[in-house]
Structure 1
Amino acid sequence: MAKYVYLIRHGIALDRALSEQDETRPLTNKGRKKTKQVAKTIKEKGIYFDQVLTSPLLRAKETAEILKDKGLTENLENFSPLAPNGDIQDWLNSWDKSSAETLALVGHQPDLGNWAELLISGKIEEKLVLKKAGIIGLNCPENQSPFGKSQLFLLTSPKWLIKSE
């Protein structure tokens, strides 16, 4: 059996130059709108997250809240290792304890791209770039370390998920 892990980058946030603290930069109106559209498309595809873990930074928490508000999960938790420069090992330490079969991790680039590379190939090459509100989907083996053993099934920017209206 496998676990499905979705790595989701936060939506478009207020420019760093306009905010005193990186931790409190919110999503912009455009970022909220795009993220809501992405969440709507994910729901239409029949995806539901047993659990969503989010970076404690405001823009990631707002992104995760949009996922919850759109009915993609009922279980949302702050998870400090998803903050910038977090350690994937902290997540993996809880890997076997989690009963979630479909998990979303909401965080930041380059960390999410690097984590995906580590899970797929066992090494970080900094080649995967995840756009804001983009998604990486991985099929990770259960009951063993997923490093170098996970399979990529989705890598998409938000423009491929947003329907033109």
Structure 2
Amino acid sequence: MQIYFIRHGIAADRGSYGEDEQRPLIPKGIHKTQQVAQRLSQLGISFDTLLTSPLMRAVQTADIFCQANLAADYHIFQPLAPAGNIQAWLDWLTNWRGLGHDTLALVGHEPDLSQWCQQLVQGSIDDRWILKKAGIIGVTVPRTANPIGQSQLFWLAPPRLML
């Protein structure tokens, strides 16, 4: 199974909105995210399921990916909010894997996404992986085993390599 960890696009500066959760993508972030989504579509990539953090900038990113026909729809998933719980996602993943799906996309935030990927691939976190805005990390996880430390990295790309 392939899982794509996608960081939201470039958003408004911190402190420019009363609530951090409401910070939207800026025009440059929308444009760059659209370009990344188009490139994925050109590569023939699509997602059986797309989960997103509930924060505005992540939801907008997920919407752009759906508009590019990478997924039929997206679902808000609270554990993808900043400081989310990987165990809650792993519990969800166990059920999802049982449905026979092959490709999942998660839209969220740093440092959570890169730390989750490190746990899946390395079994630990060393904070050396950095996921740029609108960047993607791809990880292949086993269908049945616990994925922590048992998964393989297949993609780590900043958006500039996809444009």
- 1:76 is displaced (CA, Å) by 1.0
d(CA) in 1 for partners of 2:110 and 2:37? 19
Identify the residue that residue 92 of structure 1 maps to in structure 2.
90
Match in the other structure for 2:32:
34
Question: In structure 2, what is the equivalent of residue 101 of structure 1?
Answer: 102
- 5+ unaligned residues in a row in structure 2: which ranges? none
Q: Do the aligned partners of 1:50 and 1:75 also contact (CA within 8 Å) in 2?
A: no
> Is 1:12–1:28's contact at 8 Å kept on the other side of the alignment?
yes
Q: Partner residue of 2:140?
A: 139
Q: C-alpha distance in 2, partners of 1:89/1:101? A: 20
Instruction: State which of 3, 6, 31 in structure 2 corresponds to 1:5.
Output: 3
Identity of aligned residues (%): 48
* 1:17 CA drift (Å): 2.5
Contact 1:119 1:150 in 2 (8 A): yes
Structure 2 residue aligned with 1:119: 120
Q: Which runs of 5+ in 1 are unaligned?
A: none
Distance 1:149 1:127 in 2: 19
2-structure distance, mates of 1:4, 1:133: 18
1:24 to 16, 19, 22: 22
TM-fit CA distance, 1:75: 3.3
Corresponding residue number in structure 2 for 1:75: 73
Q: Tell me if the contact between 1:83 and 1:107 (Cα under 8 Å) persists in the aligned partners.
A: yes
Cα separation, 1, equivalents of 2:102 and 2:146: 15
- State how many pairs are aligned: 160
Q: Out of 57, 60, 65, which is 2:58 matched to?
A: 60
Q: Kindly provide the amino acid, as one letter, of the partner of residue 124 in structure 1.
A: I
The Cα shift of 1:11 comes to: 0.1
Alignment deviations for residues 9-37 of structure 1 (CA, whole Å, 9 cap, x no partner): 00000001211110000000000000000
Deviation at 1:101, TM superposition (A): 1.0
Give TM-score, length-normalised by structure 2: 0.96
> Aligned equivalents of 1:138 and 1:96: distance in 2?
16
- Name the CA distance, whole Å, in 1 between partners of 2:57 and 2:24: 5
Equivalents in 2 of 1:68, 1:95: separation in Å?
Answer: 21
- Cα RMSD after superposing both structures: 0.7
Amino acid at match of 2:38: K
Instruction: Compare 116-125 and 91-100 and name the one that shifted more.
Output: 91-100
